[in-house]
Amino acid sequence: MSHVLSLRCKECSREYPVEALNVCDFCFGPLEVVYDLVSIAKATSREKISSGPNSLWRYADFLPAEHNSAVDINAGFTPLIRSRGLAERLGLDELWIKNDSVNPSYSFKDRVVAVAAAKALEFGFDTIACASTGNLACAVAAVAARSGLKSYVFIPSNLEAGKVLGAAIYRPTMVAIDGSYDDVNRLCSELADSYPWAFVNINVRPFYADGSKTLGYEVAEQLGWRAPDHAVAPSASGAMFTKIYQGLKEFEATGLISDVHTKMHSAQARGCSPIATAYEEGRFVIRPVKPNSLASSLAIGNPADGYYALKVIERSGGSAVIAEENEIADGVKLLAETEGIFTEGAGGVAITGLKHLVETGKIKRNESVVVYITGNGLKTTELVADVVSPLHIEPSVEAFEAAMAVRAGR
């Protein structure tokens, strides 16, 4: 049963009916879903959640759409791994890695699209769409393939091959747009106003965004029903970052966990860091930028939820941190070498950000930390192509042993 009461403007608090709306008519502020947390508290329990499906739908009481198997590709309930090698390397006693790169289409976007698509069906849409630099396109196309919904994905024409293929394989109508980032943005805004589709991150954005709350719920459940001292997550639009915190706070408000003291840390890459730059300058005004980053999935120059991400940082006592562009691949490699997890550039930003937070003393050795890895490295292999340097030998044992001797410096 849905516990949704209404939509509400995050700026002026005007309320709206539960429809495919994302912007307040009066102040153009973003709308968010309002839940009846008292009713959720009565309906939910740790036992009920634990016996639910091994997907994000185990938290259905907290979501704005009913579980619909037609659009369910089993997103969510991804592993939370206790780190050994990386923790030791960074000097942390309790580091956890939320590996969301193993979702069905290999990024956390499966969560938000799962909820958006379920809601789109409830609203009677027959088409879902998105404008994406990769991961979102993959998720939309995959969910559409499963559900029979039609799908349109709009991508910049210079996208990495792995991400294009990762979406194209599901056979959406894929449109590659020639032009600048701003051109793509403008065109997709116009299309969203013109076509009767569920543009997942536009007209059904309030519902879509709430799929990311499950990243907060899952971590709390997987930690044994508690919140960590710190959470480190990469930020693009800032929506996921704010929703992780909302998820933790909702679990607290409904009595499932207590004492949410988690400090939220947002990581961005130097080439697109509007949220972290505003944080460093001590202001709550986001200055939009033209993205130019190797972490393409974080390349959002005018983040819709940037202001709210800054408020979460302030409220939680967290921070924002910047990874230099030449540190991103190093972060990807460090995670791979120490934990056996291959992430994309956004993960490299998160790992580098975590490293800086430890180095600057914002995270202490004895504190519990969760770092969110939100996308898979196999879609952006170009970023770390330099690691491929095998030993070339003749097909003989002698050649192998000679090569080993050279490698050992003998």
Partner 1 sequence: MKTIEKVRFTFLDKLIKEPVIHKVGRDFNVVTNIRRADIQDGIGWVILEIEGDQQSIEDAMEWVRSLGVRVDPAVGDVVEG
Q: Which residues bind partner 1 (CB under 8 A)?
A: 11, 22-23, 26-30, 109, 130-136, 156, 181, 184-186, 188-189, 192, 199, 201-202, 236-237, 283-285, 287-288, 296-306, 346, 375
Q: Which is nearer to partner 1, 281 or 337 (CB)?
A: 281
- Nearer to partner 1 by C-beta: 40 or 278? 278
Residue type, 49: I
State how far the Cα of 298 lies from the Cα of 62, in Å rounded to an integer. 27
Shortest Å, Cβ 52 to partner 1? 28
Question: CB of 113 within 8 A of CB of 208?
Answer: yes
Pick 188 or 341: Cβ nearer partner 1 = 188
Distance CA 56, CA 216 (A): 11
The distance of Cα 392 from the centroid of its chain, to the nearest Å, equals 39
**Contacts within 8 Å (CB) and 24+ apart, 119-124:** 119/64, 119/65, 119/198, 119/204, 119/207, 119/208, 120/20, 120/149, 120/198, 120/200, 120/204, 121/68, 121/70, 121/71, 121/147, 121/149, 122/65, 122/66, 122/68, 123/19, 123/20, 123/198, 123/204
Measured CA distances, 1 to 14, 123, 230, 348 (Å): 25, 16, 33, 39
Phi, psi of 358 (to 5 degrees): -70, -45
User: What single-letter DSSP state applies at residue 220?
Assistant: H
Whose Cβ is closer to partner 1: residue 83's or residue 105's? 105
Is 31 or 369 the residue whose CB approaches partner 1 more closely? 31
DSSP H stretches of helix in 17-108: 37-43, 46-50, 85-90
Shortest reach from residue 72's CB to partner 1, in Å: 22
For the CB of residue 148, give the shortest distance to partner 1 in the complex, in Å: 24
CB of 136 or CB of 149, closer to partner 1 = 136
We find the least distance from the C-beta atom of residue 293 to partner 1, in angstroms, to be 11
The least CB distance from residue 300 to partner 1, in Å, is 5
Nearer to partner 1, 27 or 399 (CB): 27
CB of 228 to partner 1, least distance (A): 24
